[in-house]
């Protein structure tokens, strides 16, 4: 007879103590590590390695699978909050720079992997590519959580101490923008998102590479090309479609007759809340909690819809690994994280008051970011995010990492991969000089055009003067033209223009050098924040390894896989610590000058 319901049984005391102690100590060790080293993320990963399957094995594998699912939900939420707090104008104006940074962070790790693993250690080229692909990703969740942890411990204001208010600010002045809304913060978030999208493309490419028959030349290679193109095309089309729908459907509907403000902002003098039945005076409706409930419903709807579109058909689960939530689709091959970030951007755009109605009070009341921090923030900060970093620890084969050859190769590879991601700061450092070169070139072209036009007009004017004067001379006499005066005037004008031109170019050079020097903190911070690999790196490494039984072919051998895990682990540990050191050392200088 089929089971009609789950039998209710009293949990055993040992199970209750294990799960309660795990959740409690996971938060305690994070708080202590945050206070001492700004490294709560590292403490959570380390604690889960000890508590979970790799070492002590106190948690049953079913619990680890459940915690992994809840942790990934926390990752989706933190990326969604990153979209809510993104400055849209800054994001769009700096998108080319973000793309350059992202491509730098992808190409250099893959190139270094070929140089070390293939040429140095003798691994196969496909093994070097798979390891480099895993290390080319960036953990956006780890970077944002690290910034959030640093902010909470640097004396933020009470409103900024919400557990999941991502990277609230670098406290130096009360009017300073939150870091994620500055130029450097926006470039960091968008570059990490691009890295993750391309990382998911590579993740879908690896099984296809492993299954390609080298003797075939037609069907397999055509399928491989479509496997590469499909996720990129899908991601682009999803972004375009979401932008069009938000611009021409959702935003007009939200602001039609003040509908959105009526429901999503609390009642105040001169403004009712909700429908007529709720708008009566003394009804008790229209508090901040009621408005937050409506905005929370809107957030759930938008993020669920975008996640479903981004991960179109189904979620495939590989139960052979403790990292058992492998997210990719046969239709779009894009990431749930990508959809969550777009959902945050959509809600941010929709809720921005129109130009004629903008006021700080209206913007604050309609802010989904503030509502998220009030409603979901405490649960995310104490449950979902700790479980996400714990799930990373569950997926690390800790005991297999201690073979001598694996240790020294893994550490050497880790150092190289840290340097590869630090190179992401180079475009930030070069950006002021590039701007100066563009301005100098534009100024030189403008000066050249001006000289050509002025030179032609002066020649015409001199010719007209000579003709008019020669017409007034008596016949038989050679006209005497005052050549000296016009030539000296022209030379004087050219001298003044030359001095002005040289002075402006000198000022541009000095300004660009000064801005480049002032960009060193921002460039260093950008590189360090991109070092963490985390969840996407583990996902690609597990896919590249296969299932280990021969049923699913893999690109990475056992030793190459463990070397890759060493690099992912150490980079994920070094990234948050380095980010904390950079923020403590430079403070507000990270977002100064060009990078505000």
Per-residue confidence (pLDDT) for residue 476, from 0 to 100: 47
Quick one: average pLDDT of 486-503? 51
User: Taking residues 262-269, what's their average pLDDT?
Assistant: 78
The larger pLDDT score, comparing residue 387 to residue 206, is at: 387
Q: What is the pLDDT of residue 299?
A: 92
pLDDT confidence band for 355 (50 / 70 / 90): confident
Q: How many CB atoms lie within 10 A of CB 411?
A: 14
Rama region for 197: left / alpha / beta (φ>0; ψ in -120 to 50; rest): alpha
Distance of alpha carbon 15 from alpha carbon 22, whole angstroms: 11
Q: 171 CB contacts (<8 Å, ≥6 apart)?
A: 151, 154, 155, 156, 157
List, for residues 394-433, the tens digit of each pLDDT value. 888 888 889 999 999 999 999 999 999 999 999 988 888 7
pLDDT digits (tens, 9 = 90+) for 179-192: 767 788 888 888 88
Which candidate, 343, 350, 348, places its Cα nearest to that of 308? Answer: 343
Cα–Cα distance for residue pair 491/501, rounded to 1 Å: 15
In a domain, 140, yes or no: yes
Higher pLDDT, 461 or 308: 308
How many folded domains does the chain comprise? 1
171: which DSSP letter? Answer: -
Q: Which whole number is the average pLDDT over 481-510?
A: 51
Q: What is the pLDDT of residue 420?
A: 93
Bigger pLDDT: 321 or 435? 435
pLDDT for res 104:
92
pLDDT in tens, 142-155: 777 666 655 555 54
323: in domain: no
Mind listing the pLDDT tens digit for each residue in 450-475? 667 665 555 555 555 555 555 544 44
235 within domain boundaries: yes
- 490 is a domain residue: no
Q: Collect contacts of 130-133 with beta carbons under 8 A, ≥24 apart.
A: 130/206, 130/540, 130/541, 130/544, 130/555, 130/556, 130/560, 130/564, 131/413, 131/541, 131/544, 131/556, 131/560, 131/563, 131/564, 131/567, 133/199, 133/202, 133/203, 133/206, 133/540, 133/544
Selected residue with higher pLDDT from 390 and 2? 390
More confident residue, 165 or 227: 227
pTM above 0.85, yes or no: no
pLDDT at 498: 52
pLDDT band at 583 (very low <50, low <70, confident <90, very high): confident
Tens of pLDDT, residue by residue over 517-534, are 777 888 888 899 899 887
C-alpha torsion 546→552→557→563, nearest 10 = 0
Residue 228 to residues 199, 213, 224: CA-CA distances in angstroms?
11, 17, 6
CATH of the domain at 532: 1.20.1530.20
Q: Are the beta carbons of 277 and 286 closer than 8 angstroms?
A: no
Q: Which residues contact 297 (CB under 8 A, 6 or more apart)?
A: none
Residue 545 lies in a domain: yes
Given the structure tokens 């799930």, which residue do they identify? 391
Instruction: Convert the pLDDT of each residue in 338-353 to its tens digit.
Output: 888 889 999 999 988 8
Sequence-distant (6+) residues with CB within 8 A of 261 are 255, 271, 353, 362, 365, 366
Cα–Cα dist 158/293, whole Å = 22
Helix (H) or strand (E) holding 80: helix 61-84
Q: Calculate mean pLDDT across residues 314-335.
A: 44
Which range of 205-209, 278-282, 322-326, 558-562 scores highest in mean pLDDT? It is 558-562
Identify the pLDDT of residue 445.
78
Strand partners, 150: none
pLDDT value at position 222?
57
Write down the pLDDT at residue 148.
63
pLDDT score at 108: 93
CA of 360: how far to CAs of 146, 259, 352, in Å? 29, 19, 11
- Angle formed at CA 45 by CA 43 and CA 46, multiple of 5 degrees: 65
Closest listed residue to residue 315, CA positions, set 299, 332, 327, 303:
327
Tokens of 465: 């003067």
Question: Among residues 421, 571, 561, 574, which one has the least CA distance to residue 131?
Answer: 561
Q: The domain containing residue 311 runs over which residues?
A: 13-155+179-212+226-273+285-318+328-437+516-592
Decide if 586 is inside a domain: yes
Q: Per the domain annotation, does 149 fall within a domain?
A: yes
- Which residue in the block uniquely carries the two structure tokens 């893999």? 554
- Whether 261 maps to a domain, the answer reads yes
Cα–Cα distance measured from residue 406 to residue 560, given in angstroms and rounded to the nearest whole number:
8
Q: How confident is the model at residue 497 (pLDDT cuts 50, 70, 90)?
A: low
Higher pLDDT, 110 or 468: 110
Average pLDDT for 438-443: 74
Number of Cβ within a 10 Å radius of residue 174:
7
Residues 534 and 392 sit within 8 Å (Cβ to Cβ): yes
Distance CA 576, CA 531 (A): 9
Quote the pLDDT of residue 409.
93
Close Cβ partners of 30 (under 8 Å, ≥ 6 residues apart): 40, 41, 43, 44, 149, 386
Instruction: Report pLDDT for 176.
Output: 56
Quick one: average pLDDT of 171-177? 45
Q: Mean pLDDT, to the nearest integer, of 97-123?
A: 91
- Taken as a whole, the chain contains a residue count of 596
């Amino acid at each position: 007879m089929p089971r009609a319901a789950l039998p209710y049984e009293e949990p055993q005391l040992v199970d209750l103590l294990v799960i309660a102690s795990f959740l409690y100590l996971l938060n305690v060790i994070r708080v202590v590590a945050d206070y001492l080293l700004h490294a709560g993320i590292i403490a959570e990963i380390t604690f889960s390695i000890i508590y979970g399957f790799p070492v002590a094995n106190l948690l049953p594998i079913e619990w680890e699978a459940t915690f992994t699912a809840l942790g990934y939900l926390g990752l989706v939420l933190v990326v969604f909050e990153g979209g809510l707090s993104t400055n849209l104008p800054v994001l769009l104006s700096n998108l080319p720079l973000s793309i350059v940074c992202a491509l730098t962070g992808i190409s250099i790790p893959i190139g270094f992997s070929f140089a070390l693993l293939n040429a140095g250690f003798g691994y196969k080229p496909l093994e070097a590519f798979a390891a480099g692909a895993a290390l080319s990703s960036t953990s956006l969740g780890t970077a944002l959580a690290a910034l959030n942890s640093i902010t909470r411990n640097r004396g933020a204001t009470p409103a900024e101490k919400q557990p999941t208010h991502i990277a609230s600010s670098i406290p130096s002045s009360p009017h300073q923008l939150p870091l994620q809304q500055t130029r450097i913060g926006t470039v960091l978030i968008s570059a990490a998102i691009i890295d993750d999208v391309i990382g998911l493309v590579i993740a879908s490419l690896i099984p296809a590479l492993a299954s390609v028959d080298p003797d075939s030349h037609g069907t397999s290679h055509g399928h491989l090309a479509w496997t590469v193109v499909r996720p990129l095309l899908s991601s682009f089309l999803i972004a375009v479609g979401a932008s069009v729908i938000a611009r021409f459907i959702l935003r007009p509907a939200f602001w039609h007759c003040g509908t959105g403000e009526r429901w999503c902002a609390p009642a105040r003098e001169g403004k009712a809340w909700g429908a007529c039945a709720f708008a009566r005076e003394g009804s008790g409706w229209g508090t901040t909690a009621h408005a937050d409930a409506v905005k929370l419903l809107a957030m759930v709807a938008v993020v669920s819809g975008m996640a479903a579109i981004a991960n179109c058909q189904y979620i495939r689960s590989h139960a052979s690994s403790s990292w058992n939530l492998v997210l990719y689709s046969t239709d779009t091959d894009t990431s749930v994280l990508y959809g969550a970030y777009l959902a945050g951007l959509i809600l941010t755009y929709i809720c921005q008051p129109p130009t004629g109605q903008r006021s700080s009070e209206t913007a604050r009341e309609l802010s989904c970011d503030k509502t998220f921090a009030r409603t979901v923030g405490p649960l995310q900060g104490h449950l979902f995010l700790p479980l996400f970093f714990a799930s990373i620890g569950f997926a690390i084969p800790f005991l297999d990492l201690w073979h001598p050859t694996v240790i020294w190769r893994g550490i050497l590879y880790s150092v190289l991969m840290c340097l590869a991601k630090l190179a992401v700061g180079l475009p930030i450092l070069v950006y002021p000089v590039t701007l100066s070169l563009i301005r100098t070139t534009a100024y030189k072209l403008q000066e050249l055009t001006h000289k050509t036009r002025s030179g032609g007009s002066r020649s015409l004017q001199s010719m007209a003067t000579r003709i008019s004067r020669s017409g007034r001379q008596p016949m038989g006499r050679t006209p005497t033209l005052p050549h000296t005066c016009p030539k000296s005037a022209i030379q004087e004008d050219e001298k003044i223009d030359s001095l002005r031109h040289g002075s402006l170019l000198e000022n541009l050079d000095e300004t660009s050098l000064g801005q480049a020097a002032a960009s060193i903190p921002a460039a260093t911070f950008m590189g360090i924040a991109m070092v963490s690999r985390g969840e996407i790196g583990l996902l690609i490494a597990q896919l590249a390894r296969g299932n280990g039984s021969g049923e699913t072919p893999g690109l990475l051998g056992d030793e190459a896989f463990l070397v890759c895990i060493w690099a992912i682990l150490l980079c994920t540990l070094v990234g948050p610590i380095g980010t904390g050191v950079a923020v403590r050392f430079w403070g507000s200088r990270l977002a100064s000058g060009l990078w505000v």
